[in-house]
Amino acid sequence: MPAIPTFRAEIDLVDCEVDGRIPDDLNGAFYRVGPDFQYPPKFPQNIPFDGEGHVSMFRFSAGRVDLKSRYVRTQRFKAQRRAGRAVFGMYRNPFTDDAGLESVSRGTANTTVLYHAGRLLALKEDSPPVAMDALTLETIDDYVTFGGKLSSRTFTAHPKIDPETGELIAFGYEAKGLGSNDVAIITIDRDGNLTRESWIKVPYVGMLHDFAVTQRHIAFLAIPMAFNLAQMKAGGVHFAWDSTLPSWFGVMRRHGDGSDLRWYKGPERCATHVMGAWSDGDKCYVDMDMAKKNQFPFFPNLHGEPFDPVGAAGVVTRLSVDLSKKSDAYDMKVLFPDNGVLPRQDDRYQTIPYRYGFMPTVDLSVPPHPAVTGRPFRPNNCYTKFDHATGRTQTCRAGNTVALQECCFAPKRPDAPEGDGYILGMAEQMLECNRSDLLILDTADLEAGPVATVRLPFRIYGQVHGWWVSANDLPAAA
Ligand code: V55
Ligand code: FE
């Protein structure tokens, strides 16, 4: 296993170099977070998903852009800083930690940042949120319990925001402790108060990474990325892929107490992210990037199958059920042939019917560059816009020497029509020694390529997810 690259330095870069022109109507901040090991991992076989959360902010204003980054000061980060080395062991495995850390949160806050009720929340699905100041990126609360009201011990990295009410709807799995089959469903009102927590059980304990919230329903997809205690006790990671398990699609009324939850069966499938979801009466629709096999090369296949990169290719797939019917199985339909992962939408359309999705994809017609041989996957080298109304796509092809990270949508104005704006995404330039770019594309014409490219003088740590905040939603500078 090659050493995991780390970045470690916190950034204050004023007036980034820009190719092209930053659009006048791009005003606000693009936040991103990813794992960046604070110290060399305690065990060299640890996986990239266990690095400490490092948040960056590209602050756009009047055609200029500054970049700031700060590690999230999690309890774990602070304990390791005191020790001067990694004291937490393997990914989500407390059995591998140094002694005496039982009361310190293991959360790395490395998966998502989002802005709600005036603060940034940095999230990792094994622990409660960590709150940061949206302008200074200072950590202001390393263990958010919403005034003691959160009883779930975990909180997803994929809450949804209801555009009508401003509520944040979240869940936590393994919510009563390591390996528990309890899932909490949590509502936070627009002012940041926890107003509801209800509880359900899952058919088996496994990674519940994302979920779907519509105006009427809440839906989960349980996938065979199963909790594995024996593997953890042997010093391994939290999950292993059990190909003998089915997938289960669970749907409940959003405003109920969870007692009406129904699970619908499906075949072995991997799907981690929701593009968009909505309900039409008793029908609930959820679009995800779905693959047939384990998509994570660093979570082992339990039955010894080698990692299968073809089976791991995701395609935009619509899962649906009709709650008024008696069926025991969920329906699925592949909507587009493009291979990709990390779908997003115009986030103003979370929970309601939507038209446009965006996702990094792979252009299979371009031969792989020698720089990428040895990777389990071909890197994403395109950004694709999916139009569900016409079934058509538009693609920006960035060539075979870039690796693209997740992209994030920024509307041109708060009241711009759906999908009318920009997508922002980091590109690792594989042939330019250790450099990254932030690409900015106008969604009206992805094929035209970036309208602006923010050129960084270094290669920045990898991102998991990003979030756009318009200037008028940001707090006023102190
Ligand atoms: C994901 C990322 C994680 C994790 C579980 O699909 C799932 C993404 C960066 O950490 O712990
Ligand atoms: Fe995610």
- The DSSP symbol for 301 reads B
pTM score, whole prediction: 0.97
Cβ-based burial of 394 (10 A; exposed 0-12, middle 13-18, buried ≥19): middle
From the CA of 296, give the closest atom in ligand 1.
6
Q: What is the pLDDT of residues 156-178, one digit of tens each?
A: 999 999 999 999 999 999 999 99
Q: Is 11 within 8 Å of 69 (Cβ atoms)? A: yes
What's the CA-to-centroid distance between 112 and ligand 2, angstroms? 7
Q: What is the pLDDT of residues 327-351, one digit of tens each?
A: 999 999 999 999 999 999 999 999 9
What's the CA-to-centroid distance between 350 and ligand 2, angstroms? 15
| Amino acid 161: pLDDT | 98
What are the tokens at 320? 């649906």
| Amino acid 456: pLDDT | 97
Average of per-residue pLDDT across 401-423: 96
Beta-carbon contacts of residue 237 (< 8 Å; ≥ 6 apart): 47, 90, 91, 92, 93, 231, 298, 299, 300
Question: CA nearest 346: which of 412, 408, 284, 425?
Answer: 408
Per-residue pLDDT band for 400 (boundaries 50, 70, 90) equals: confident
What are the tokens at 216? 């009427």
Per-residue pLDDT band for 2 (boundaries 50, 70, 90) equals: low
Among all chains, which residue has been given the structure tokens 């008793």? 282
Q: What is the pLDDT of residues 64-89, one digit of tens each?
A: 999 999 999 999 999 999 999 999 99
What's the CA-to-centroid distance between 30 and ligand 1, angstroms? 20
| Amino acid 14: pLDDT | 98
Average of per-residue pLDDT across 35-52: 97
- Establish whether residue 49 lines the binding site of ligand 1, counting it when its CB lies within 6 angstroms of any ligand atom: yes
Question: Does 414 score more than 90 pLDDT?
Answer: yes
Closest ligand (CA of 110): 1
Question: CA nearest 258: which of 383, 171, 137, 164?
Answer: 171
Residue nearest to atom 11 of ligand 1 (CA): 49
Percentage of residues in the chain having pLDDT higher than 90? 93
From the CA of 110, give the closest atom in ligand 1.
9
Closest ligand (CA of 295): 1
Say how far apart CA 39 and CA 46 lie, in whole Å.
12
**What are the beta bridge partners of residue 357?**
345, 386
- Establish whether residue 295 lines the binding site of ligand 1, counting it when its CB lies within 6 angstroms of any ligand atom: no
What's the CA-to-centroid distance between 125 and ligand 1, angstroms? 8
Average of per-residue pLDDT across 96-120: 98
Q: Find the radius of gyration of the CA atoms of the chain.
A: 21
Q: Buried b vs exposed e over 444-469: b needs ≥16 C-beta within 10 Å? A: eebeeebbbbbebeebbbbbbbbbbb
- The DSSP symbol for 268 reads S
Say how far apart CA 209 and CA 156 lie, in whole Å.
7
Phi, psi of 229 (to 5 degrees): -70, -40
- Establish whether residue 110 lines the binding site of ligand 1, counting it when its CB lies within 6 angstroms of any ligand atom: yes
Question: Does 224 score more than 80 pLDDT?
Answer: yes
Question: Does 478 score more than 70 pLDDT?
Answer: no
Question: Does 1 score more than 50 pLDDT?
Answer: no
Q: Is 21 within 8 Å of 63 (Cβ atoms)? A: yes
For ligand 1, pick from 36, 37, 49 the residue to mutate: most ligand atoms within 8 Å of CB: 49
Percentage of residues in the chain having pLDDT higher than 70? 99
Question: Does 476 score more than 90 pLDDT?
Answer: no
**What are the beta bridge partners of residue 340?**
361
What's the CA-to-centroid distance between 209 and ligand 2, angstroms? 6
Average per-residue pLDDT in the chain? Answer: 96
Q: What is the pLDDT of residues 350-393, one digit of tens each?
A: 999 999 999 999 998 888 888 777 787 889 999 999 999 999 99
Q: What is the distance between the terminal CA atoms of the chain, rounded to a whole angstrom?
A: 46
Closest ligand (CA of 125): 1
From the CA of 273, give the closest atom in ligand 1.
6
